[in-house]
Amino acid sequence: MAGVQFTGEAAKRIANVVRTVEAGPRGVQPVDWGMPRLDTVGSSIRMATYTGGWPIDSDKEVTFLVNTQQTALARNILIELPEPEGDRNCAVAKDGTAWFLINWQQDVVTAFTAAELSSAALTFHGVPVAALSTAATEAGTITVATCATATAS
């Protein structure tokens, strides 16, 4: 196991800081590194659930995940959320006295970005993308005639 090494000057500086802290009052709160604390009462960012579709520019009651008896009315100013199957998770943030939707539950789907035709097969290439799991799908059609008359590269 490798040890940590300090210069003599660094060791003295660290020792002075430790002595100063140890001599200070014991009731002082620990260092707060400024990270937001999620899902705490009074927090301005909370995880929640909602039910049903959520049209843009509308309010919806959300239920907080940590304190499941606590609800809030949150406003969606971001995206049209279609009717889901069951409850969906979301994140809401408080701005002043109002709650706003800041993120919503998404799923990963494959979006086809290219097709390759060989003499043996038509191969589709895709990348994973975030999508609303309840969003309607759109079909793209390649006819048998197109495949039969296409030239492989």
Q: Tell me: the pLDDT tens digits for 117-128?
A: 777 777 888 888
- Report the b/e string of 77-104 with b at 16+ CB within 10 A: eeeebeebeeebebbbbeeeeebebbeb
Q: 19 in a domain, yes or no?
A: no
Pair 56, 80 in one domain: yes
| The model's pTM | 0.56
Pair 100, 111 in one domain: no
Pair 66, 93 in one domain: yes
The yes-or-no verdict on residue 1 having pLDDT over 70 is no
Pair 49, 86 in one domain: yes
Residues of the chain with pLDDT > 90, as a percent, come to: 25
CATH number at 51 reads 2.40.50
Q: What span, in angstroms and rounded, lies between the C-alpha atoms of 42 and 45?
A: 9
Pair 87, 123 in one domain: no
Q: What is the pLDDT of residue 36?
A: 56
Pair 49, 100 in one domain: yes
Contact 53, 84 (CB under 8 A): yes
Radius of gyration of the chain (CA): 27
Pair 96, 116 in one domain: no
Q: What is the pLDDT of residue 117?
A: 79
Q: Tell me: the pLDDT tens digits for 63-109?
A: 999 877 899 999 999 988 888 777 899 999 998 889 999 999 888 88
Q: 24 in a domain, yes or no?
A: no
Which residues constitute the domain of residue 94?
45-104
Pair 112, 100 in one domain: no
Q: What is the pLDDT of residue 31?
A: 67
The total number of structural domains that make up the chain:
2
